[in-house]
A = this chain, B = another copy of it.
Amino acid sequence: MTWITGSVTAPRGFRAAGVRCGIKSQGKDLALIVSDTPATVAGMFTTNRAAAPCVRYSRHVVEAGTARAIIANSGNANAATGEEGFMDNVRMAQKVAQLLECPPAQVVTASTGIIGHRLPIEKVEKGIEQAMLELSPDGGNAAAEAIMTTDTVPKQEAIRLHLPAGAVHIGGIAKGAGMIAPNMATMLCFLTTDAQIAAPALQQVLKDAVERSFHCLTIDSDTSTNDMVVILANGQSGVDVHRYLNDFQMALENLCIRLAQRIARDGEGATKLVEIEVRGAPTFKQARKMAKTVAESPLVKTALFGNDPNWGRVLAAMGRSGVDFDPERAQIALQGTLVYTEGKPTAFDARELHEQLKADTVTIVIDLQEGTEHATVWTCDFSYDYVRINAEYHT
């Protein structure tokens, strides 16, 4: 398994483009990813009851199992826009389908940005024509840029997996969680691979990878109306991965973890990446539940912003996580320093630890000593800038 340069266009037979169609006040705002041949498709979508039209539409595409393209716009979530909004989304898919000469049911749609505003669909349609002209095997980076909203950097990763039957590639782009100015964020992730794999196996592999990557990511506890992770597998490598599903899943999981970490590091107002591991838990789900409760505590996140080794807030969050554990047996370590054990704080040097917490990656390791399972969750700290970004915009 080798990390390589590139993103969704690293696997064979994929082209992409990112163009400006005029939804946002500036910058690229329309991304197109196309597989030269029909690809198997899998996806996971937001569980939000108020899901946007693109989520409802793309679920059907995934159920059908075959896709040629992903079209995504930023700057407008096309959520809470009524029946008209649903039709705008259909038009997006139809325009791509018409130009690719494929069924609209083979086009995944995605939108991110403000809620409750109609999409300027004519601009989007013109943008699709432009993107189609600019499609290129080097277009992954432009596509990554085009899905950004309050993200400060594009996020992309690619990997080469060496299997006995040959090499397969996986690439991905993602955009930031942390709800987004002016209104609503979306965690979007688009993945491509040239592996040969049937849709049901692809769906299972994606689900497992997401469980330990994006489902272990939390910026501010919010599940948006538009979240989705979608993967296209076009088989162009000629390598069938069904016999190596475990290797393939691990490669995909690693790639998703890197993208999740990039999202956390670029969370709104974030000054650092925070990695919270719960070890010695009876099950993975309990470990993740506790790690997430700690990760989402505004008190823990503000303490980390202040570089404060405030283990008391970590313990309090553990205690209310709903996970059963013995506070006398649990241990807490901050940046590798044991700060709490046997029901009491250790005699650590708070001033020294305060300095160490100024690092750009901070780790919190909790050992429950109750079992053998563990989970890692990624988040960021909670700063003045988070409040500024989310309070100062006026609808």
Whole-angstrom distance between the Cβ of A215 and the nearest chain B Cβ: 14
Complex: how many Å from CA A313 to CA B116?
Answer: 11
Whole-angstrom distance between the Cβ of A334 and the nearest chain B Cβ: 11
Also in contact, A383 and B387, with CB within 8 A (given A49-B327, A50-B327, A115-B312): yes
Instruction: Note all chain B residues with C-beta closer than 8 A to A340.
Output: 80, 116
A306 touches B51 (CB 8 A): no
A283 at the interface (CB under 8 A from B): no
Whole-angstrom distance between the Cβ of A302 and the nearest chain B Cβ: 4
A352 at the interface (CB under 8 A from B): no
Which of A27-35, A67-75, A168-176, A315-323 makes up part of the contact surface? Answer: A315-323
Whole-angstrom distance between the Cβ of A113 and the nearest chain B Cβ: 10
Also in contact, A395 and B316, with CB within 8 A (given A81-B344, A390-B299): no
Instruction: Note all chain B residues with C-beta closer than 8 A to A387.
Output: 302, 305, 382-384, 386-387
CB < 8 Å: which of B50, B179, B299 contacts A222? B299
A356 at the interface (CB under 8 A from B): no
Task: Please encode chain A, from 251 to 283, with 1 for each CB lying within 8 Å of some chain B CB and 0 for all others.
Answer: 000000000000000000000000000000000
Whole-angstrom distance between the Cβ of A147 and the nearest chain B Cβ: 19
Complex: how many Å from CA A225 to CA B315?
Answer: 9
Instruction: Note all chain B residues with C-beta closer than 8 A to A308.
Output: 391, 393-395
A325 at the interface (CB under 8 A from B): yes
A376 at the interface (CB under 8 A from B): no
A350 touches B394 (CB 8 A): yes
A298 at the interface (CB under 8 A from B): yes
B298 touches A390 (CB 8 A): yes
A324 at the interface (CB under 8 A from B): yes
What interface size band does chain A fall in?
35 or more
Copies assembled = 2
Chain A residues 288 to 342 lying within 8 A of chain B, measured CB to CB, are 296-299, 302-303, 305-313, 315-321, 323-325, 327, 340, 342
CB < 8 Å: which of B220, B302, B319, B320 contacts A299? B220
A136 at the interface (CB under 8 A from B): no
Minimum CB distance partner of A305 in chain B: B391
A371 at the interface (CB under 8 A from B): no
Instruction: Note all chain B residues with C-beta closer than 8 A to A50.
Output: 315-316, 318-319, 327
A395 touches B309 (CB 8 A): yes
A302 touches B391 (CB 8 A): yes
Instruction: Note all chain B residues with C-beta closer than 8 A to A51.
Output: 319
B394 touches A313 (CB 8 A): no
B392 touches A315 (CB 8 A): no
Complex: how many Å from CA A383 to CA B51?
Answer: 29
A246 at the interface (CB under 8 A from B): no
B391 touches A342 (CB 8 A): no
Complex: how many Å from CA A296 to CA B320?
Answer: 15
B297 touches A221 (CB 8 A): yes
A79 touches B312 (CB 8 A): yes
Also in contact, A318 and B183, with CB within 8 A (given A302-B391, A344-B116): no
List A residues at the B interface (Cβ < 8 Å): 47-51, 79-83, 114-116, 179, 183-184, 220-225, 296-299, 302-303, 305-313, 315-321, 323-325, 327, 340, 342-345, 350, 354, 382-384, 386-388, 390-395
